[in-house]
Every structure is written in C-alpha cells, then in structure tokens.
C-alpha cells in the first residue's frame, strides 16, 4: 500500500501543536533561587510595585524601618546660675555685679532675669506736687563676652517702692570658656532678688547684620 505524502497544512499544524505543548511545559516550570545566578536580576528587571515589603525577610524589613525613622536629635544642654538674694542695699548710681555664669565654647542663647527693689525715703509732699523725683528707674546689663543686652524699668514713684522684673536675652557664639555677667544700677539704693542667668547651648547661630 502506497503512503500518501502529508500535505503542507498538516505539517504546519503538527509543528504548531508541538510548539504549543512545549510552551505550556516551560510556563509550568517553577524557577527557584538555586537556578538564579547572583547579580543577574537587576532593578530594571523588576516591575514597579510588584514586590511588597511583606515579601521581604524580617531582617531586611527591620533595616528599611530603621532607615525610615528620623535620626534622634541630641538633647539640648543648659547652664543656669541662681542668686536668691543680693546684693542688698547696693549704692545708687553705681553699676554693680549681681551674678555671673561661665560656659564652655559653643553657640548659646542666654537669658537673665532679676527683681529690683528700691530703698526709698519719706515722701516729700512739695516734691510730689512739683513732680520732682516722681519716677526713679533701674537698669540691668547682661554682658556675654562683649555682646550686651540691657533692660530699664521704673522701681520707685514718689518715693514709693514699685519692685520691677528686668529681663534680658541675647545670642552669642564663643570659641573658649566665657563668663556671662549680670550688672545693674539704679538712681536709688536697691536690692536684687531671684536673679537668674540661663545659657542654652544650640547647634549654631546664623548672624544677619542689617545696615
């Protein structure tokens, strides 16, 4: 019996069938990590958002969380000097040291406060009517290595005490240990109470000078 030669259409159909079966077999094959050479898969080979954090190892997840957290800021350092009472009955019209604080090199914001109370005499009615010595003031100067800040307040009116709180603030960067000094003066003898100097260390100070 003579065999018939297969037609071209039959040959093409057979080839297509074999290719389809082979493709299915390849698609069904699972590729494991042992079959992937290190460094052969790069970022460009991975589609965006196809690998979520849940598919990563716990160690890698912890590393990513650690990098995402902001770095902890170092605590601020502050130096404080307190004098509860004094000087007492400081002479009038004379700049007198109240207290001081020495700080190491660095950048600082310094503040100072004190309560000034005047020593007053008996009210003179004629002077009060004439307005003579009606208002007496006190002043304080905070000196931080040559940079100063001042405050002025009324401490007596018609020989009546009007205790006042004087406050000052300034910023300064120093390259060596430096003394911060609080000095005060008044038109009448005076006493200082609750005097404080606080110097808070900061990372840096940017100075802008306007002409």
Domain for residue 207, yes or no?
A: no
d(CA 172, CA 184): 21
Domain for residue 13, yes or no?
A: yes
If asked whether residues 53 and 128 sit together in one domain, one would say: no
Domain for residue 134, yes or no?
A: yes
Q: Are 197 and 99 in contact (CB under 8 A)?
A: yes
If asked whether residues 162 and 105 sit together in one domain, one would say: yes
Supply the range of the domain harboring residue 24.
Answer: 9-68
If asked whether residues 49 and 96 sit together in one domain, one would say: no
> Would you state the structure tokens that stand for residue 153, as one six-digit string?
């307040």
Please tell me the predicted confidence (pLDDT) of residue 76: 83
pLDDT digits (tens, 9 = 90+) for 39-69: 666 666 666 666 666 666 777 667 767 766 6
If asked whether residues 100 and 43 sit together in one domain, one would say: no
d(CA 105, CA 109): 13
Domain for residue 158, yes or no?
A: yes
Q: How many domains is the chain partitioned into structurally? A: 2
Question: Residue 191: which CATH number?
Answer: 2.60.120.660
State CA 20 to chain mean position distance.
67
If asked whether residues 91 and 49 sit together in one domain, one would say: no
pLDDT digits (tens, 9 = 90+) for 64-80: 677 666 666 667 899 99
**Sheet hosting strand 135-144, strand order edge to edge:** 96-103, 178-186, 135-144, 147-157, 160-161
Helix (H/G/I), strand (E/B), else coil: 2: coil
pLDDT digits (tens, 9 = 90+) for 99-119: 999 999 999 999 999 999 998
Please tell me the predicted confidence (pLDDT) of residue 200: 96
């Amino acid at each position: 019996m003579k065999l018939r030669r297969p037609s071209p259409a039959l040959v093409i159909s057979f080839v297509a069938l074999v290719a389809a079966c082979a493709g299915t077999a390849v698609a069904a094959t699972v590729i494991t990590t042992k079959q992937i050479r290190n460094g052969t898969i790069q970022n460009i080979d991975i589609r965006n958002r196809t690998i979520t954090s849940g598919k990563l190892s716990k160690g890698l997840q912890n590393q990513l969380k650690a990098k995402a957290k902001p770095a902890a800021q170092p605590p601020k350092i502050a130096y404080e000097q307190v004098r509860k009472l004094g000087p007492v009955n400081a002479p009038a019209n004379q700049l007198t040291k109240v207290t001081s604080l020495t700080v190491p090199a660095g950048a600082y914001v310094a503040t100072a406060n004190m309560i000034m109370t005047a020593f007053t005499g008996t009210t003179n009615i004629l002077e009060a009517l004439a307005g003579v010595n009606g208002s007496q003031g006190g002043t304080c100067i905070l000196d931080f290595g040559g940079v100063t800040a001042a405050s002025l307040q009324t401490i007596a009116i018609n020989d009546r005490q009007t205790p006042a709180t004087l406050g000052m603030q300034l910023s300064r960067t120093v390259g060596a240990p430096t003394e911060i000094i609080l000095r005060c003066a008044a038109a009448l003898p005076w006493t200082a109470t609750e005097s404080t100097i606080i110097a808070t260390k900061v990372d840096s100070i940017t100075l802008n000078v306007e002409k």
